């Protein structure tokens, strides 16, 4: 039922002109967004950080536009914001924790979900961030972490136990590409942190040195 709802809303977005909120977001400057949209509350796990509060109406609409409409204007705008946010937050890591030459990795989608949507929104963000950086601070890998188990969306599950069980052992990592590497995981939204935790665990077990994660919203 949820899948049909998503398809119906995507069709509406394709058939009808962009709504006023999307146009307004497209026209807002990055400074306007930072000054007027609520910043994310601190995430319980200090390894993960987000820029905005997901409950904000503009942020929800912007992430929908990235996730389901592949809105290039919004992708570029929010990738710029995420890029600057990452640099601000890893300075101390680089100095005090030897967090050098990190590898940008998107949270992957299962191949069936990727086939249905046609793209991974987290991968779109990673590609744009890497383009902005121009190789100065990050390396990139889009196939190092894969999702091998198709799972229901975390928001549909009732409690923490179900969410943990849902994602257990759902990722696989290429140890040759990440051995002794620092990793930055990128996702569009961090909800409970369970997805980031499972991806981080998989990467560390495969030989990664340190893993931290960033998202647009929490």
Q: What is the pLDDT of residues 92-125, one digit of tens each?
A: 888 888 899 999 999 999 999 999 999 999 999 9
Name the residue ranges covered by the structural domains of the chain: 40-53+79-217
Q: Tell me, what's the pLDDT at 173?
A: 97
d(CA 1, CA 134): 42
Domain 40-53+79-217 is of which CATH architecture? Answer: 3-Layer(aba) Sandwich (3.40)
- Is this prediction's pTM over 0.75? yes
Sign of the CA dihedral with 190 first, then 194, 195, and 199 last: positive
Q: What is the pLDDT of residues 183-192, one digit of tens each?
A: 999 999 999 8
* pLDDT band with cut points at 50, 70 and 90 for residue 22: confident
For 40-99, the DSSP string reads: PPPPSSTTEEEEE-TTSHHHHHHHHHHHHH--HHHHHHHHHHHHHHHHHHHHHHHHHS--
d(CA 194, CA 192): 5
Which residues, in sequence order, are CB contacts of 41 under 8 Å at separation 6+? 53, 218
Contact (Cβ atoms closer than 8 angstroms) between residue 160 and residue 191 = no
Q: What is the pLDDT of residues 127-142, one digit of tens each?
A: 999 999 999 999 999 9
Q: Tell me, what's the pLDDT at 30?
A: 95
Contact (Cβ atoms closer than 8 angstroms) between residue 186 and residue 125 = yes
């Amino acid at each position: 039922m949820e899948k049909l709802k998503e398809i119906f809303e995507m069709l509406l977005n394709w058939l009808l002109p962009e709504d006023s909120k999307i146009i307004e977001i497209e026209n807002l400057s990055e400074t306007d967004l930072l000054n007027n949209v609520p910043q994310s509350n601190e995430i319980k796990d200090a390894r993960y950080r987000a820029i905005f509060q997901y409950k904000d109406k503009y942020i929800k609409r912007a992430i929908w536009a990235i996730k389901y409409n592949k809105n290039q204007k919004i992708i570029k705008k929010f990738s710029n914001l995420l890029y600057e946010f990452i640099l601000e937050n890893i300075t101390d890591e680089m100095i005090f924790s030897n967090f050098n030459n990190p590898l940008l990795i998107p949270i992957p989608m299962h191949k069936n979900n990727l086939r249905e949507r046609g793209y991974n929104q987290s991968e779109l963000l990673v590609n744009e961030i890497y383009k902005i950086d121009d190789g100065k601070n990050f390396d990139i890998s889009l196939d190092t972490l894969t999702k091998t188990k198709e799972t229901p969306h975390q928001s549909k599950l009732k409690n923490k136990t179900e969410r943990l069980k849902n994602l257990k052992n759902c990722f696989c990592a290429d140890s040759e590409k990440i051995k002794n590497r620092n990793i930055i995981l990128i996702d569009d939204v961090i909800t409970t942190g369970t997805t980031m935790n499972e991806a981080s665990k998989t990467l560390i077990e495969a030989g990664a040195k340190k893993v931290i994660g960033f998202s647009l919203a929490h």
